[in-house]
């Protein structure tokens, strides 16, 4: 009996962790990092910071990191 309960509990945990993974996979990214901007535009780090300083798109400093609004960056990029 206890083995069957253990197997059932393991199956429940596996099912719930699979559901959590599915939710996180469907979550759309809302910000870019400096590194991602560099890769997208194929530019240097200093050029990426220059674009942020010019306020061409929305960005916010979170702790020591800068996050760029994906929506505003994508809209800015689409103007070219």
pLDDT at residue 17 is higher than 80: no
**pLDDT band at residue 57 under the 50/70/90 scheme:** very high
pLDDT at residue 5 is higher than 80: no
CA 30 to chain centre: 6
Per the domain annotation, does 57 fall within a domain?
A: yes
Per the domain annotation, does 22 fall within a domain?
A: no
Tell me how far apart the alpha carbons of residues 23 and 42 are, in angstroms, rounded to a whole number: 31
Per the domain annotation, does 21 fall within a domain?
A: no
48 lies in which domain range?
A: 31-78
Model-level pTM? 0.63
Read off the DSSP letter of residue 27.
Answer: P
Per the domain annotation, does 56 fall within a domain?
A: yes
Q: Which of 27, 29, 32, 28 is nearest to 73 (CA)?
A: 32
The predicted pLDDT at position 6 comes to 66
Q: Which of 49, 60, 58 is nearest to 76 (CA)?
A: 58
pLDDT at residue 50 is higher than 90: yes
The predicted pLDDT at position 28 comes to 81
φ and ψ at residue 68, rounded to 5 degrees:
-105, 130
Q: What is the mean pLDDT of the chain?
A: 82
The predicted pLDDT at position 80 comes to 80
Per the domain annotation, does 1 fall within a domain?
A: no
Tell me how far apart the alpha carbons of residues 25 and 50 are, in angstroms, rounded to a whole number: 32
Per the domain annotation, does 47 fall within a domain?
A: yes
Please count the structural domains in the chain: 1
Mean pLDDT across 57-61 = 95
Per the domain annotation, does 25 fall within a domain?
A: no
């Amino acid at each position: 009996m206890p083995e069957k309960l253990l197997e059932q509990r393991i199956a429940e945990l596996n099912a719930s962790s699979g559901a959590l993974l599915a939710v996180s996979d469907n979550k759309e990214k809302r910000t870019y990092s400096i590194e991602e901007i560099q890769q997208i535009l194929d530019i240097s780090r200093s050029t990426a910071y220059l674009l942020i300083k010019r306020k061409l798109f929305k960005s916010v400093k979170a702790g020591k990191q800068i996050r760029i609004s994906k929506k505003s960056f994508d809209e800015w990029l689409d103007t070219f």
